[in-house]
Amino acid sequence: MADLRFTTAGESHGPGLVAIVEGLPAGLTVDRERIDREMARRQLGHGRGGRMKIERDAVEVRSGIRHGRTLGSPIALLVDNRDYANWEERMNPWPVEAEVEESHLPRPGHADLVGALKYAHRDVRNVLERASARETAARVAAGAIAKEFLAALGVTVHSHVLRIASVAAAERGDLTPADFAAVDDSPVRCLDGEAAEAMVAEIDRLRKANESLGGVFEVRAFGLVPGLGSHVSAEERLDGRLAQAIVSIQAVKGVSVGEAWEVAELPGSESHDEIFWSAERGYHRETNRAGGVEGGMSNGEPLVVRGALKPISTLTKPLRSVDTETKRPAEAMRERTDSTVVPAAGVVGEAMVALVLARCYREKFGGDHIDDVLAAVEGYRERIDWRR
């Protein structure tokens, strides 16, 4: 059975970030411009901080790809941290002669305090550097490779913002891939123009009040075959995998697949997607309340996953905390920060969903070369008479 795995390494202000992706078939065409475009998308969004003016994220491939095609071996991706030039003494891997000031002022809502206790660090920077959402640049790099694989199978993954703080966009259930063509042109990556303007105003208002903002993003995947994931064991359930992947994103506190909270209030007759069949379409649904997942498996409808982000833990007006050296009351540490990252979190959500789906395709269809995968997928579609 083929398997796809990925891991990341690196600190926020260290020399750089690394992503390693294992398990992709050989012969897959990879487009460098598309990958770099994914990296640039993660830096979008009204309310981003000064770090985005420094970094110009691009991916350097160190292994696993030759002349634009995968080799079937592990793919190593490097993303440089340009800001490291300003942190070289503080974040150097090796001892330095200069005296480096330690940080002892943990931020409420961040990993600072618990991580320092768990790993016996005096300096909370040893925790916060890895816990930082800067790590998601490596995830997006890995997700960009997964997207290349999915695209070869006719699958696309998209995202948009549904809410920032108190401002919510009008919800639409009839979205198609074409609806996302210009989503990145919105300053908050929202498909509702009127709501986008209100979101920008809300960000500006709360930023002036030294506040940070959370919100909700939605990821949709189109073109999936039915049967990804399985009902036979907990760890194979697609919805369980997606939930873990989305909640693993920094600041995400909740996830839903389909109309989770909506159907919790409805009777069964209004909660499920009735099944139909026609000679032209085969099996199909007229609604998609399940968000494309039934019994832990994709059912062929568009996949719909949402992530809810809390406001960022770093505030320009710090919250109350405790100095871990003196145990006296103190203000939490100040770090350069964003006002909101909800638009960027949607792009990270795309990457995580793509990695989960790519793994499911590899497990189900195997294949050492991309042509083997395509043949296996086509054979499966013919066996189940899947006509879309």
**pLDDT tens readout for residues 115-143:** 999 999 999 999 999 999 999 999 999 99
Kindly report, residue by residue over 159-179, the tens digit of the pLDDT. Answer: 999 999 999 999 888 899 999
3-state secondary structure the chain: CCCCEEEEEECCCCCEEEEEEECCCECCECCHHHHHHHHHHCCCCCCCCCHHHHCCCCCEEEECEECCEECCCCEEEEEECHHHHHCHHHHCCCCCCCCCCCCCCCCCCCCHHHHHHHHCCCCCHHHHHHHCHHHHHHHHHHHHHHHHHHHHCCCEEEEEEEEECCEECCCCCCCCHHHHCCHHHCCCCCCCHHHHHHHHHHHHHHHHCCCCCCEEEEEEEECCCCCCECCCCHHHCHHHHHHHHHHCCCCEEEEEECCHHHHCCCCHHHCCCCEEEECCCEEEECCCCCCCEECCEECCCCEEEEEEECCCCCCCCCCEEECCCCCCEEECCCCCCCCCCHHHHHHHHHHHHHHHHHHHHHHHHCCCEHHHHHHHHHHHHHHCCCCC
Average pLDDT over all residues of the chain: 95
Q: At 54, is the pLDDT very low, low, confident or very high (cuts 50, 70, 90)? A: low
Residue 34 has pLDDT above 80, yes or no: yes
User: Each residue of 338-378: pLDDT tens digit?
Assistant: 899 999 999 999 999 999 999 999 999 999 999 999 999 99
Position 50 pLDDT exceeds 80: no
What structural domains does the chain harbor? 5-383 (3.60.150.10)
Q: How confident is the model at residue 271 (pLDDT cuts 50, 70, 90)?
A: very high
Across 205-233, average pLDDT: 96
Per-residue pLDDT tens over the stretch 105-117: 999 999 999 999 9
Looking at residue 1, its pLDDT comes to 55
